[in-house]
């Protein structure tokens, strides 16, 4: 193979006209004109048209007649400028073609499960292909074919450019790239670990790192000063659209610095990374505290591409004649809302009342919504008569409302519910009305997060237990005081998505012990989990801090990918399975024996994945893989069943269903050899009621809790349309 002579298809141009070239690649598409045969030939650099003419080389033309899509070929020929009017603007090389004189078929391809070509051979043709036209599960199963698409290869090439950009800039700032271990100690970091059993030390396990957190801090204690790593991390958690069980993050740490160093440095890095995708991020990035973000937007990752910040109307309506609001305020509740500028014509009374108030807001977990329009300088709504003119004018002033604006308000005895519902409502309205400007990017820093939070009545770290508090003179035994502490932590948010976060770290032993004490970790437990780290702190640790950026999320945002799975070469699907390799999969019993993962004759542990614990020696039904049910799956089934459930209810169902699976996994397998299949214990037959529904004395009591009733009947939604 004369690889030294090779030219890449996408690099040919008219400057090479008349030159002989050797091309190697895949047949992208074929067009047979009878006397001439054309193919698009593709490699990683692009596509070029190749022409086979029987008058030039009959043998070459004969071979070309047997070509199929995705055959791997070697072509030798002459570059020629295409005749005027035959150029193809769909191709970078559309002004030239290669006149083939020799063809070798290097390997053949079976019929394809889906079309790979994304380029039209003739200008004006429509090509209905691309990742969005093929089922994702099939794409992942045949990932080697999917990655042949020019659009997918372009993503990986751009990702490589972003990596080069990162390394170049960090090298200028004297950051040193250091690799940290994959096989490490299991430590509590907020998600479940993937465990790796040890053959040498049976009964003990390594953990795959959720992040290199402790090791990068130890590198600072080692005097390395500035460290970075494009690190692989692993978290065994319930999946969401933008999560993967294994992912890549840019991990950074620096000594003798404060937040300002990180803000300035990360902003410049982000600007450079986004410029690879032709995006100009505005600087400086605004900063808001966690409390301000929650108060004004109801989320710690607000989307600032549009307005509609929340306004509190509780004080205005404290003495209102509207009883619903007055009861909520008297119960310590909250009334907040936002103003939708100039959308009164697009938000009709029917939409506001029958869609948002009765359907959309309840689906977000709210009891309902209050709306008002500003028309002719006054407020208009179905309940405006309950508010005095003074209250109406105060509302207009508070929301800075103008003619044609719409006010949307949520009232509830739970401030958390008000903020959560308003946050979802704000995003829904913005996307529905097209208020989110395409191509706009709004980065910001969210700072001063709470140091602790309550989970089931117990203090836990909001970030991780190595985050420096805003003050160190606190009593770790005083839960209320601990909950008032803020952390020196920060998140980078762009367009409503958290791209990364970090903090200034604790660098003295006393403060670290106080944090552990507040978290309920006694000296023995702290030593067991973090002993090696605590000993390192005792030998002189510099002030230091860092941050991690989720590379998959960043690249997906820069390149406009619909999912992070599209920017990962070999991702897992939504059930944490690899359709290509079929991992995770059962392993041979002898391997389990070497690892000490079964007892005597009881056989190996049940073949399962997920995170439900199984006692040593317990065995589930043979050949059954028990998968952990995710919250997303619970909500999906509820949706199919036309049920509305809250997030709390979904989590409860998830917990109970997984408890059933956990119990199922502990049951011993029944021996069914030689047992005849059973039929139903009763004969199956249709049974129709003979009676007819009618009015009875019990009807009223039966219907008293019905959502809607009419003429002694339950009123139910129509499911099947005629």
Of 103-117, 145-159, 160-174, 648-662, the poorest mean pLDDT is in 648-662
B/e letters for 207-239, b = 16+ CB within 10 Å, e = fewer, are bbbbbbbbbbbbbbbeebbbbbbebebbbbbbb
DSSP secondary-structure letter at 326?
Answer: H
Domain ranges of the chain: 3-107, 154-211+221-277+551-567, 322-436, 629-660
Confidence of residue 624 (pLDDT cuts 50, 70, 90): very low
Query: How far from the centroid of its chain's Cα atoms is residue 266's Cα?
Result: 22
CATH architecture of 154-211+221-277+551-567: 2-Layer Sandwich (3.30)
Q: What is the pTM of this model?
A: 0.80
Instruction: Please state at what angle helix 415-432 crosses helix 290-297, rounded to 10 degrees.
Output: 70
Can you give the pLDDT at residue 708? Answer: 64
Q: Give the total residue count for the chain.
A: 722
Q: Do domains 3-107 and 154-211+221-277+551-567 have the same CATH topology?
A: no
| Distance between CA atoms of residues 314 and 126, nearest Å | 57
CA angle (138, 144, 145) in 5-degree steps: 65
Residue with tokens 């008293």: 704
Least confident of 152-161, 414-423, 574-583, 657-666: 657-666
* Alpha-carbon gap, residue 8 to 18, rounded angstroms: 16
Pairing of strands 226-234, 544-550: unpaired
Q: With 60 as the cut, is the pLDDT of residue 308 above it?
A: yes
**pLDDT of 155-200, one tens digit each?**
999 999 999 999 999 999 999 999 999 999 887 656 789 999 999 9
Give residue 506's pLDDT: 95
- The pLDDT confidence band at residue 597, using thresholds 50, 70 and 90, is confident
The pLDDT score that the predictor gives to residue 650 is 86
Fold of 322-436: Gyrase A; domain 2 (3.30.1360)
* Kind of pairing between the strands at 176-177 and 226-234: parallel
pLDDT at residue 607, as a whole number:
41
555 vs 134, 187, 569, CA distance in Å?
22, 29, 12
Tokens linked to 404: 């044609």
Per DSSP, helices labelled H in 75-149 are 136-141, 143-146
Give domain 3-107's CATH number out of 2.40.30.10, 2.40.50.140, 1.10.3720.10, 3.40.50.2300.
2.40.50.140
């Amino acid at each position: 193979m004369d690889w030294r002579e090779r030219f890449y298809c996408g690099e040919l141009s008219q400057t090479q006209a008349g030159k002989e070239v050797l091309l190697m690649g895949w047949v992208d598409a074929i067009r047979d004109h009878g006397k001439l045969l054309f193919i698009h030939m593709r490699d990683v650099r692009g596509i070029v048209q190749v022409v086979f003419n029987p008058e030039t080389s009959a043998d070459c033309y004969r071979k070309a007649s047997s070509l199929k899509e995705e055959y791997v070929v070697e072509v030798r020929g002459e570059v020629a400028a295409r005749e005027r009017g035959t150029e193809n603007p769909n191709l970078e090389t559309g002004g030239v073609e290669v006149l083939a004189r020799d063809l070798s078929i290097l390997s053949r391809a079976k019929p394809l499960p889906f079309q790979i070509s994304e380029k039209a051979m003739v200008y004006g043709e429509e090509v209905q292909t691309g990742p969005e036209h093929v089922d994702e599960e099939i794409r992942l199963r045949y990932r080697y074919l999917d990655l042949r698409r020019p659009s997918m290869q372009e993503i990986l090439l751009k990702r490589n450019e972003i990596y080069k950009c990162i390394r170049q800039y960090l090298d200028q700032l004297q950051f040193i790239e250091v690799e940290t271990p994959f096989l490490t100690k299991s430590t509590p970091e907020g998600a479940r670990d993937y465990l790796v059993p040890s053959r040498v030390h049976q009964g003990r396990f390594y953990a795959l790192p959720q992040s290199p957190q402790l090791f990068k801090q130890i590198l600072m204690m080692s005097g390395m000063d500035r460290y970075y790593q494009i690190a692989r991390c692993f978290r065994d958690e319930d999946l969401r659209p933008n999560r993967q069980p294994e992912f890549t993050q840019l991990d950074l740490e620096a000594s003798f610095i404060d937040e300002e160093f990180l803000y300035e440095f990360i902003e410049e890095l982000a600007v450079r990374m986004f410029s690879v995708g032709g995006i100009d991020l505005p600087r400086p990035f605004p900063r808001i505290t966690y409390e301000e973000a929650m108060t004004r937007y109801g989320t710690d990752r607000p989307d600032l591409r549009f307005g509609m910040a929340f306004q509190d109307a509780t004080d205005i309506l404290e003495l209102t004649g509207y009883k619903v609001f007055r009861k909520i305020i008297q119960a310590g509740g909250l009334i907040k809302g936002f103003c939708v500028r100039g959308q009164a014509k697009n938000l009709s009374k029917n939409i506001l009342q029958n869609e948002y108030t009765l359907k959309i807001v309840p689906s977000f977990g709210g009891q309902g919504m209050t709306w008002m329009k500003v028309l002719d300088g006054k407020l208009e709504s179905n309940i405006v008569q309950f508010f005095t003119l003074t209250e109406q004018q105060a509302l207009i002033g508070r929301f800075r409302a103008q003619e044609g604006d719409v006010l949307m308000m949520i009232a509830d005895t739970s401030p958390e519910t008000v903020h959560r519902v308003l946050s979802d409502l704000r995003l829904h309205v913005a996307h529905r009305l097209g208020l989110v400007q395409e191509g706009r990017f709004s980065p910001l820093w969210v700072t001063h997060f709470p140091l602790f939070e309550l989970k089931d009545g117990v203090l836990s770290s909001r970030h991780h237990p190595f985050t420096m508090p805003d003050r160190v003179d606190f009593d770790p035994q005083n839960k209320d005081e601990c909950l008032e502490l803020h952390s020196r932590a920060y998140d980078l948010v762009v367009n409503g998505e958290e791209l990364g976060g970090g903090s200034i770290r604790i660098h003295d032993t006393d403060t670290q012990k106080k944090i552990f004490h507040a978290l309920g970790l006694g000296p023995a437990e702290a030593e067991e989990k973090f002993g090696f780290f605590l000993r390192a702190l005792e030998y002189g640790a510099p002030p230091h801090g860092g941050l991690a950026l989720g590379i998959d999320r960043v690249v997906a945002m820069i390149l406009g990918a619909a999912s992070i799975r599209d920017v990962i070469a070999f991702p897992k699907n939504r059930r944490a399975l690899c359709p290509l390799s079929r991992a995770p999969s059962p392993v041979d019993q002898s391997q389990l024996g070497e690892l000490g993962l079964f007892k005597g004759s009881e056989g190996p542990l049940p073949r399962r994945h997920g995170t439900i614990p199984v006692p040593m020696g317990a065995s589930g039904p043979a050949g059954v893989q028990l998968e952990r049910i995710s919250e997303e799956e619970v909500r999906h089934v509820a949706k199919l069943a036309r049920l509305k459930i809250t997030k709390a209810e979904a989590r409860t169902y998830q917990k109970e269903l997984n408890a059933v699976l956990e119990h199922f996994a502990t049951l011993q397998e029944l021996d069914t050899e030689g047992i005849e299949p059973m039929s139903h214990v009763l004969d199956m037959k249709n049974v129709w009621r003979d009676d007819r529904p009618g009015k009875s004395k019990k009807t009223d009591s039966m219907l008293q809790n019905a959502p809607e009733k009419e003429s002694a009947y339950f009123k139910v939604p129509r499911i099947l349309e005629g």
